[in-house]
Amino acid sequence: MAGMLVDERDQKFVLFEQLEIDKLSDYELYSEFDKDVYLMVLSEAKKLAENEFMPLNSVGDTEGVVFKDGKVIMPESFHRLWALWNEGEWRGLDIPAEYGGQGMPTVLGMAANEFFEAANLAFQMSVAMPRGGALLIAQHGSDEQRAKYVDKILTGEWSSTMALTEAEAGSDVGATRTIAERNEDGTYSIKGAKVFITCGDMDLAKNIIHLALARVKGAPAGTKGLSLFLVPKYKINSDGSPGEPNDIKVVSVEKKLGLKASPTCQLSFGEENNCTGELIGRENQGMTIFFTMMNESRLIAARHGAGIASSAYIHALEYSRERLQGSQIGKESNRQSPIIKHPDIRRMLTMMKSYTEGVRALIYYSSYCIDRVHVADSKEEKQKWEKRLGFLTPVTKAYGTELSFRVTEAALQVYGGYGYTKDYPIEQFLRDEKVHSIFEGTNGIQALDLAGRKLSRDSNDLYTGLLKDITEFCTEYKEHSGLKAYISILDEAKKALAEASVFLLELQKKDFELFALYANQYLELFGDVIVGWLLLWQAVIAWEKLSSIAGDSNPDNAQLENFVTDNVEAAFYSGKLGAAKFFISNVVSLASAKAAIIRIADRSALQIAENAFVV
Amino acid sequence: MAGMLVDERDQKFVLFEQLEIDKLSDYELYSEFDKDVYLMVLSEAKKLAENEFMPLNSVGDTEGVVFKDGKVIMPESFHRLWALWNEGEWRGLDIPAEYGGQGMPTVLGMAANEFFEAANLAFQMSVAMPRGGALLIAQHGSDEQRAKYVDKILTGEWSSTMALTEAEAGSDVGATRTIAERNEDGTYSIKGAKVFITCGDMDLAKNIIHLALARVKGAPAGTKGLSLFLVPKYKINSDGSPGEPNDIKVVSVEKKLGLKASPTCQLSFGEENNCTGELIGRENQGMTIFFTMMNESRLIAARHGAGIASSAYIHALEYSRERLQGSQIGKESNRQSPIIKHPDIRRMLTMMKSYTEGVRALIYYSSYCIDRVHVADSKEEKQKWEKRLGFLTPVTKAYGTELSFRVTEAALQVYGGYGYTKDYPIEQFLRDEKVHSIFEGTNGIQALDLAGRKLSRDSNDLYTGLLKDITEFCTEYKEHSGLKAYISILDEAKKALAEASVFLLELQKKDFELFALYANQYLELFGDVIVGWLLLWQAVIAWEKLSSIAGDSNPDNAQLENFVTDNVEAAFYSGKLGAAKFFISNVVSLASAKAAIIRIADRSALQIAENAFVV
C-alpha cells in the first residue's frame, strides 16, 4: 500500500506507460533528464510531503492565520515547511533553466506537486503563487526586472501574489478600478483596493511582490486598458535589498470555510498616495500577459482540487478496510465485516477511484500538451498542441474540480457520522476543496471560455484534433476482445459531443443567451468524453500488460482473482480496467442523453421572469 | 418578496392548490380545522422563525456548545428560543389531541417547521427530537408512562433523545451491545455506551429522557433481541419531579463540521452500575417500536435539509439581484448588470428553484400520505397510503437530502468568492446541510430500504399505486396544449422506472450483491420520476390558473412578459411552469439512460479486487 496522499503507482502509470514522458528526453529541451531523474523527484516529493507537510495540515487548519497590527502571521510551524521547500528548490522544478529553474517538464511538476497539495494545500498555496509570479516576471519582465526579482522569488527569499480581483471586479476583470499614474522616474503610483489576494500578506518571506492589475490614467475602459505592475511590499533599495515600506495596507483577512492557514487578504494600495510600482511589459498589455499564464494557473487550480480528492479517496479506502459494520451479503456469519465488502461502499470507492484517476490523467495530459508546445519543431506542431491545450484547460479546471469535490463528498459519506466530526481529516478536506469551483475563474467562466471562445474560434481544431484522435482510438479497438462494449459507448458519446458542438456553434449565431445557458452542460459532456477516452486508453494498456503478466490473451478479472491477490502489478492493472469500465458504464453512457438536452435547448431558465423565482 | 426563509406562496400552493389539504377537514379527525387555521399557524411560524430564530443562527454557529464539568452548555441566547417554542406549544402541533397535542395534520406540521429549520436548524434539532420522543411514548407507553412523561416533554419542561447508535453499531443497529438487566422492582439496569446522541445533554430542559436501545440479558442477537428503555438523566421522584442523577456520564461532545450549536454526545450508561431505566412496550420489541417512528423521522430529516436549501436558495436569489458583474448579453451598455441577468446564473437559480420546490412537494406529499393513513376509512384505503408512504419515505430522505445539498452548493457558487467567506451565511448552510446524507439512516441505507425491502415486498403496490397514478396523469394530459412535450418525457421516464423495477426484482433473486450495487441508482431514478411527476402536476395546475388570470387559453410565458411583471399571481404561476419545464428537460430526460445503466448492470465495482483500488 502506498502512502495516504497519492496513488503513486497510478502516477507512474500515467507518466510512463500512458504518456511516456521519458520520450520527451528525445527533445533537446529535456535531453538531460530521464526516467530515473523523474522517479527520484517524485520520491523526494513524496517523502517531504508525507513526513513534513501532512502532519501540519490539521495544525494549520486549527491555528489558522492571525491578523494583528496590520500584519498576517502564519502558523509558526509553517516556517519550517517554507525553509524545506526553499532548500529543495521546489519552486523552480519545472521553470526553464534560462530563468534559473531546473527546466523539467510541466507534467512532472504537476505530478510532484500533487503530493504537496494532497498533504497540505493551505501551505502549498503560499509557494504555488510565487512560482507563477517568478515565471511571469521571467517571461515578460525586462532584463533588469528578471535580475531584480526572479531569483529572489524562486529561492523563497521573497514571495509574490496575483493581485487581480477587486470587490466590483471578480469574474468581470474589465471593471478593474485600480489606477496607475506615470511618475517622472518611470515608476508608477498605484491607487486602488484589491480583494481575495492569496498570501497578500504573510511572514514567511522578507518581501512580497504584488503583480497588480491597474489602469493607467487615460487608458481605455475594459480589459484592453489594463496594465500589469510589480508592486513590492517593501520598496527595493538600489542594492536590491528591501527598504522602506511601500504604501500598501492590509485592510482585512477573510474568515473562510476552509484553507484557514492560507491568508486571503484585502489590500489597499496608495491610501497615502505613496505606493510605487514598476510596469511589466508595456502599458495596456496586462491581460495579454496574464493570459499567457492562464492555462497553467487553471491547470494548477485543478491540481489543487485533485490533490485533496486523492488523499480523501485513499483515506476513505483505508477506513473502509478497517471499519466493521454489518455482515457481508451472502455470508451467514454473525461477524461484522469491513464495509469495503458492502456493494454501496464499493460503488462509492470505485466512483472515487475512477474520478480521481480520470482527473489525474486529465491534468497530466493537459500539462503534457504544454510540454509538447515547448518542444514542437514546427509552427503547425506547436499550434496543434496549443489548440488542444486551449480546449482542455477550461475542461480540466471546471470538470476536474467538480469531480474532485464529488470524490471528497463521497469520502465523507464512506466515513458516515465520523466523517462529519473533526476526529477525522475528511471534513477539513471538504472545506478546503470547496473553493476550487470558484477560484481561478469560476466554473461558469470556464464553460463560457470553452464554448464561447475556444469552440467558436477553433472548432475545426477540435474536430481534426481531439475528436479525431478519439475516433481513431475507437476504430482501432472496436473489436477489442475485453473492452469492445466500452469502446462502443465511448464512440457513441464522442459522436454526441461532436453533434452538440455543431449544434452550439449554430445556436451561438442565432441566440447567444440560449447558447450561453448550455455552456455548462457542454463542458460537462466534453469532460465525460475526454475522461472516458483517457481512462479507456489506460484500460487498453492495462489489458495488454495484464495479458502479458497472466500469459493469457483474455485476462478476465473474475478468473484471475487469486492471481490478482498475489501479484501487485496484476492487481494494479486489473484495477485500471475496473475504473475505466465503471466510468464508461456509469458516466459516459449518459452522454447521448446529455447531448439531447443541449440540442433540445429548453428555454425555461431564461424565460422565468425575474420576479417569478420567488414572489 | 417573501422573507429570506421559505417561499410561502409555494408552500400554500402545494398545500391548498395541489394537495388541497383543507379537504382533510371533511374527515372527523381534522374536522375542527380549516384553511384559515392552517394559514394562521404558518404565519405565526414565519414570524417567530424570522424574528427570533434567524438572527441567532450564526450566533449559535460562532458560540457553539460548551462542554464543561461533564455538562453541555447551550448558547445563552437559545434559552429564549426554547421558552418561545414552549410558549407557542409548537411541539404538539401535529401530535394527536388524545396525547395532548393540537392534532393538526402531519403535512401542516411539516410546512410550519420548515420555517424554523430554514432559520436555525441547530436549535431546531433540540426541539424536533423531543417531539418524536413524546409521540413515541404516547403511542407505545403504558398509561402510567404517558402520564409521567408525555406532557412534560411536550411542554418543554423536559427533553428527550433517541439513543440508538453505538460506536460499533451505526448503520448496523443489530450489533447494539448495551445491556439491560431486569431488577426486582420491574425497572432495568442499563449498561453501555452510545454515540452521536443529538442533545444527549443540554441545559435547556430540567430533565432528559433517553429512549435507549438495549439488549435484555439473554435476548437473541441482532435487531430482534433489542428492547427500548426510558432512561432519565435525573431519576424521577414519586411526585414526578426530577430527583437524584441517574448514572449517565457525558463522555464527550463531538467537534463537527457544522451544526455547532447542536450537541452531539457520547454517553456512557451505568459505569457505576447505577443506571436505571423503564422498559417501554415489551421486551424485544425495541426495533418494532422504532420502526413505527421511522417514516416520520426520515421525512423530518429530509425536511431539515430542505429548510436549509430553501433559505440558501432565497439568499442566492437575492444576492444575484444585487450583485453587479459584467454586462448583460445583447446589451451594449458599459454598465455592470445584476448577475441574475447572466444565463449561467439563471441556470443555477432555476435548478435551485426546481429542486427546492420539487423536494418541498415530495416531503409534503409523503407527509400527506401519513395523514391519509390516519383518516382512511377502510383497511384497503389505509394500506394503499401506507404502501405509498413506504416507497416514498426512503426516496424523500435520500433523494431529498441529495438535492438539498446540491442547492446549497449552487447557492455558494452564485455568491462566488464571497460565498466561501464567513461574511455571508452560505458557508454555514453548506456545513450544516452536509450531515443529512448520513443522519437518520445513511442515503445508502435508504436505497437498500427502497430496493431491498419495499420493492421486493410490495412491487405490486408500486405498479398499481404510484406508477399507475403517473400513467393516468400522463394519459390525461398527453395532449396538453402547453405541456405535452414534457408529459411525454415523464411518461417515458416512468416506463423506464417500471422496467428497472422489474429488472431489479429479477436480479435480486439471481445476484443479490449486484442488485445491491444498483440500489442507489434505482433510488435516484425513482426520485427523478416522482419529483418530475409532482412538478408537472403543479405545472398543469399553474397553467390552468395562469390561463384563467390571463383570459387566454394558451398563456405562453414569452407573450406574457409584461403581464407577469405586473401581476404577482401570474408571476408565481409562470415560475411554476418554468421550474417544472426545467426539471423535466434537464433531469427527467436522463431517466431512460439511467435505467439502461441499471439494466446493463456493469459488475466492475464488485470485481475490483480489494487490493487493486490502490496498490
- Residue A68 reports pLDDT greater than 80: yes
Neighbour count for residue B139 (Cβ, 10 Å): 17
Mutation choice for B interface testing from A433, A535, A608 by most B CBs within 10 A: A608
**pLDDT-derived band at B536, boundaries 50, 70, 90:** very high
- B80 inside domain: yes
Structure confidence at residue A578 (pLDDT): 95
- Residue B1 reports pLDDT greater than 70: no
Same domain, A145 and A174: no
**pLDDT-derived band at A2, boundaries 50, 70, 90:** low
pLDDT digits (tens, 9 = 90+) for B251-280: 999 999 999 999 999 999 999 999 999 999
Same domain, B132 and B180: no
Same domain, A466 and A595: yes
Q: How far is CA A453 from CA A457, A458, B344, in A?
A: 6, 8, 16
Q: Are A397 and A294 in contact (CB under 8 A)?
A: no
Residues in chain B: 615
Residue with cell 492560507: A262
In the predicted model, what is the mean pLDDT of chain B?
95
Structure confidence at residue B552 (pLDDT): 75
- Give the range of the structural domain holding residue A243, as residue numbers without chain letter: 159-288
Contact B343 A605 (CB under 8 A): yes
Sort out which chain B residues have CB atoms less than 8 A from A401's CB and list them. Answer: none
Extract the C-alpha cell encoding A543: 489489458
Average pLDDT over residues B499-521: 97
**pLDDT-derived band at A171, boundaries 50, 70, 90:** confident
**pLDDT-derived band at B562, boundaries 50, 70, 90:** low
Q: Are A354 and A535 in contact (CB under 8 A)?
A: yes
B576/chain A closest Cα distance in angstroms: 8
**pLDDT-derived band at B565, boundaries 50, 70, 90:** confident
A161-176 burial: b if 16+ Cβ within 10 Å, else e = bbbbbbeebbbbbbbb
A218 CB-near residues (< 8 Å, 6+ apart): none
Tell me which DSSP letter residue B93 carries.
Answer: T
What's the rounded Cα separation, in Å, for the pair A599 and B361? 29
pLDDT digits (tens, 9 = 90+) for B66-124: 999 999 999 999 999 999 999 999 999 999 999 999 999 999 999 999 999 999 999 99
Contact A343 B561 (CB under 8 A): no
Same domain, A176 and A104: no
DSSP A226-260: EEEEEEESEEE-TTSSEEEEPSEEEEEE--BSS-T
B300/chain A closest Cα distance in angstroms: 18
Contact B346 A606 (CB under 8 A): yes
What's the rounded Cα separation, in Å, for the pair A419 and A425? 8
- A243 inside domain: yes
pLDDT digits (tens, 9 = 90+) for B297-336: 999 999 999 999 999 999 999 999 999 998 888 776 678 8
**pLDDT-derived band at B561, boundaries 50, 70, 90:** low
**pLDDT-derived band at B559, boundaries 50, 70, 90:** low
Q: Are A245 and A229 in contact (CB under 8 A)?
A: no
Mutation choice for A interface testing from B6, B344, B523 by most A CBs within 10 A: B344
Contact A575 B345 (CB under 8 A): no
Count of structural domains within chain A: 3
Same domain, B564 and B582: yes
Catalytic residue list of A: 440
Give the SS3 label for residue B77: coil
Comparing CB atoms, the residue among B513, B561, B590 nearest residue A329 is B513
B145/chain A closest Cα distance in angstroms: 32
Structure confidence at residue A559 (pLDDT): 57
Sort out which chain A residues have CB atoms less than 8 A from B520's CB and list them. Answer: 344, 347
Same domain, A171 and A226: yes
- A374 inside domain: no
Same domain, A137 and A187: no
B196/chain A closest Cα distance in angstroms: 8
Mutation choice for A interface testing from B426, B588, B594, B604 by most A CBs within 10 A: B604
Which of these ranges, A467-476, A564-573, A598-607, has the smallest mean pLDDT? A564-573
Sort out which chain A residues have CB atoms less than 8 A from B434's CB and list them. Answer: 409, 412, 420, 430
pLDDT digits (tens, 9 = 90+) for A412-467: 999 999 999 999 999 999 999 999 999 999 999 999 999 999 999 999 999 999 99
**Closest CA in chain A for residue B520:** A344
pLDDT digits (tens, 9 = 90+) for B526-535: 999 999 999 9
pLDDT digits (tens, 9 = 90+) for A542-557: 999 999 988 877 776 5
Structure confidence at residue B240 (pLDDT): 94
B364 CB-near residues (< 8 Å, 6+ apart): B14, B15, B19, B107, B110, B111
What's the rounded Cα separation, in Å, for the pair A4 and A355? 17
CATH number at residue A218: 2.40.110.20
B517/chain A closest Cα distance in angstroms: 5
**pLDDT-derived band at B246, boundaries 50, 70, 90:** very high
Q: How far is CA A255 from CA A58, A261, B361, B417, B496, in A?
A: 17, 10, 36, 12, 47
| ∠ Cα A111 A115 A116 (to 5°) | 115
- B312 inside domain: no
What's the rounded Cα separation, in Å, for the pair B601 and A50? 39
Structure confidence at residue A552 (pLDDT): 75
Residue with cell 477550461: A394
Contact A572 B612 (CB under 8 A): yes
A-B C-beta contacts closer than 8 Å: 339
**Closest CA in chain A for residue B445:** A344
In the predicted model, what is the mean pLDDT of chain A?
95
Same domain, B163 and B139: no
**Closest CA in chain A for residue B448:** A344
Average pLDDT over residues A3-28: 97
What's the rounded Cα separation, in Å, for the pair B200 and B115? 24
Contact A564 B609 (CB under 8 A): yes
Structure confidence at residue B557 (pLDDT): 52
B366/chain A closest Cα distance in angstroms: 23
Sort out which chain A residues have CB atoms less than 8 A from B409's CB and list them. Answer: 434
Contact B413 A564 (CB under 8 A): no
Sort out which chain B residues have CB atoms less than 8 A from A10's CB and list them. Answer: 614
Same domain, A163 and A145: no
A266/chain B closest Cα distance in angstroms: 12
Domain boundary among B223, B258, B288: B288
Contact A605 B350 (CB under 8 A): yes
Extract the C-alpha cell encoding A65: 492565520
Is the model more confident about A333 or about B422?
Answer: B422
**pLDDT-derived band at B555, boundaries 50, 70, 90:** confident
- A218 inside domain: yes
Contact B343 A514 (CB under 8 A): yes
- Residue B563 reports pLDDT greater than 80: no
**pLDDT-derived band at A153, boundaries 50, 70, 90:** very high
pLDDT digits (tens, 9 = 90+) for B412-449: 999 999 999 999 999 999 999 999 999 999 999 999 99
Extract the C-alpha cell encoding A562: 487469486
Extract the C-alpha cell encoding B240: 414526578
Q: H or E stretch including B278?
A: strand B276-280
Residues in chain A: 615
A391: left (phi over 0), alpha (psi -120 to 50) or beta: alpha
Is the model more confident about A329 or about A370?
Answer: A370
**pLDDT-derived band at A378, boundaries 50, 70, 90:** very high
**Closest CA in chain B for residue A5:** B614
Comparing CB atoms, the residue among B2, B568, B608 nearest residue A575 is B608
Give the SS3 label for residue B239: coil
Domain boundary among B238, B253, B288: B288
- Residue A1 reports pLDDT greater than 60: no
For residue B524, give the amino acid letter.
E
B495: left (phi over 0), alpha (psi -120 to 50) or beta: alpha
pLDDT digits (tens, 9 = 90+) for A230-244: 999 999 999 999 999
Comparing CB atoms, the residue among A561, A590, A614 nearest residue B593 is A590
- Residue A166 reports pLDDT greater than 90: yes
Q: Are B507 and B458 in contact (CB under 8 A)?
A: no
Is the model more confident about A275 or about A551?
Answer: A275
Same domain, A52 and A183: no
Sort out which chain A residues have CB atoms less than 8 A from B168's CB and list them. Answer: 324-325, 336
Same domain, B178 and B246: yes
Q: Are B7 and B314 in contact (CB under 8 A)?
A: yes
Q: Are B362 and B396 in contact (CB under 8 A)?
A: yes
- A64 inside domain: yes
- A294 inside domain: no
- A541 inside domain: yes
Comparing CB atoms, the residue among B175, B513, B602 nearest residue A336 is B175
Average pLDDT over residues B517-542: 98
CATH number at residue B77: 1.10.540.10
- Residue A329 reports pLDDT greater than 90: no
DSSP B325-387: -S--TT----S--BGGGSHHHHHHHHHHHHHHHHHHHHHHHHHHHHHHHHH-SSHHHHHHHHH
**Closest CA in chain A for residue B425:** A257
What's the rounded Cα separation, in Å, for the pair B21 and A558? 55
The interface predicted TM-score of the complex, written ipTM, equals: 0.96
Same domain, A138 and A187: no
B16 CB-near residues (< 8 Å, 6+ apart): B22, B35
Contact B412 A434 (CB under 8 A): yes
A101-127 burial: b if 16+ Cβ within 10 Å, else e = bbbbbbbbbbbbbbbbbbbbbbbbbbb
**pLDDT-derived band at A308, boundaries 50, 70, 90:** very high
Helices (H), B434-465: 443-448, 456-464
**pLDDT-derived band at A562, boundaries 50, 70, 90:** low
Residue with cell 396538453: B480
A254: left (phi over 0), alpha (psi -120 to 50) or beta: beta
Contact A9 B615 (CB under 8 A): yes
Domain boundary among A229, A254, A288: A288
What's the rounded Cα separation, in Å, for the pair A427 and B255? 11
Is the model more confident about B3 or about A566?
Answer: B3
Active-site choice (B50, B433, B440, B524): B440
